[in-house]
A and B are shown apart, each in its own frame.
Chain A
Amino acid sequence: MTLTSSIKRDYFYNLVKNGKRADGRKFDEFRNIEIETGFISKAEGSSRVKIGNTQVVAGIKMDIGDPYPDSPEKGVMMTAAELIPLASPDFEAGPPREDAIELARVVDRGIRESEVIGLDKLCIEPGEKVWMVFIDIHIIDFDGNLFDAASLAALAALFNTIVPIERMRPNLERLQEKIPSIKNYLEENPKDYQLPMNEPPISCTSVKFNDVVVLDPSLDEEEIAEVRLTVATDKNGDIRAMQKGLNGSLTIEEIKKVIKASIDNGREIRIKLEKSTGN
């Protein structure tokens, strides 16, 4: 666990009581966001997102597999996150620990529950074969606010993803022997095409310390945070997902403030996302 000096904590507490943050930002201001897509040619989709100095790479791989029994005509999606030791002196090698698991599940839910991926358009043969979308998130530099960086990276990569008909053609042709109707599927979809996507919700995370709530915490701020709240909002300003973390508490007033800041910033981040993926 990172050792933070109590002096640092006191200094931040003081600053924030005087309306200031250590890096000069306003309480509801995000750090600089950079989004780059498509730089990993082997992946069906990829992105690199920077929020301040936090850097996340997301890669999308697709494969053909069996649908879930309770949704025979829908594609399958799976999200994994790795807090690789590259990113911080405190990340250890080994199987994902709770932080990585929580991160992956929160990002996954945000995408799944809002039906961002058009999974119903990823059916190859109902009840038999569907497309599987694997989202792999790699944190490569950790300077606070992994939730937002990871979500944004996953979305940017997904918007950049193509369904790899050409790469998977040999597999599809092989499956034709068992499932003849795949021939029709190939005729209808002879080439690679853009992964069908819907409007994405944008996630914004805030933390509270010394009774003050700030948006997009830097690493220093996360280290002294008492409670964390992530809110994902959509184009209309409606709430699509929420997650509270850490063992502090929030007042209703504070939650309302966080929601408003999330809606406002979500709007701007959505524009950035659209620009970067040419949508």
Chain B
Amino acid sequence: MEQEIKLIDDDGKRLDGRKADELREIKIEAGVLHRAEGSCYLEWGNNKVVAAVYGPREAIPRHSQDPLKAIVRARYNMAAFSVDERKRPGPDRRSREISKVISEALEKVIITNKFPRAAIEVNIEVLEAEAGTRCAGLTAAGVALADAGIPMKDIPVACAAGKIGSKDNFGKKIGGNIVLDLGKQEDNFGDADLPIAISPRNGEILLLQMDGHLTVEEFDKALDLAIKGCNIISKLQKEALLQKYQVDVEAY
């Protein structure tokens, strides 16, 4: 019988040494691109994403325009070299679904009625992927939007929680741990994955997806944990934005 990978040991240590409620290391930099109106480079564990914002500008084609507000188009794309097995360039169905749920999350916080008939374009490029790219992408998009000067009610932030290690070496269910920010192995071999995005100011949920198996109690725990993660990352986003303006003024 195949050896079951132990995702979390009896001392509560995960494969990469993290505790159940610990995030991977996150680095955020705002305003990294020259042409884009707003941009962000973000590293989250081994995830590396770049987000760029263009707009608001007139939405083309004309029939896509909304006479009352701006439309928000997020495009999530993975580079061919971002994964172990080279990915064929171009959007696949997974990318298009992620693009859609991210667009919808962003639309809620952007003050779109200021720009009727316009489009706000958010491009998210995953240069390296290791579980949690949609959360990394949305978090970077939030920073890029703020960097671009797009009026927003809040800076959206995303994080995932999940359930791991609920089978013993004989494949029997024995319970499980709710952990924050699934790593690669945990995503592949764990029991549930719950990525969410929130508006940190009031805790409203902007994005919610779940796959796997959770009891209602487990869901509550996971959601709570993911929201805690989001709040920590929200601080990092704001720091990154303010960091950009620590300009070194040359003496004259």
Contact = CB atoms under 8 A, between A and B. Distances in A.
Given A55-B33, A86-B36, A42 B89 contact: no
B90 interface: yes
B25 interface: no
B35 A42 contact: no
B81 A141 contact: no
A138 B128 CA distance: 12
Interface stretch (A77-85, A113-121, A122-130, A183-191): A77-85
A41 B48 CA distance: 10
B63 interface: no
B82 interface: yes
B121 interface: yes
A63 interface: yes
A178 B206 CA distance: 52
B83 interface: yes
Contact of B85 (A63, A89, A96, A143): A63
A61 B85 CA distance: 8
Interface residues of B, number: 31
The dominant DSSP class at the B interface is loop
Interface string A83-118: 011111100010110000000000000000000000
B33 A134 contact: no
Contacts of B91: 93
A40 B82 contact: yes
Interface string A34-67: 0000011111001000000101010111010000
B34 A138 contact: no
Contacts of A55: 33-34
A142 interface: yes
A63 to B, nearest CB: 6
Interface of A: 39-43, 46, 53, 55, 57, 59-61, 63, 80, 82, 84-89, 93, 95-96, 134, 136, 138, 140-143, 167
Closest 7 CB pairs of A and B: A59-B81, A61-B86, A43-B81, A53-B34, A136-B80, A86-B52, A86-B123
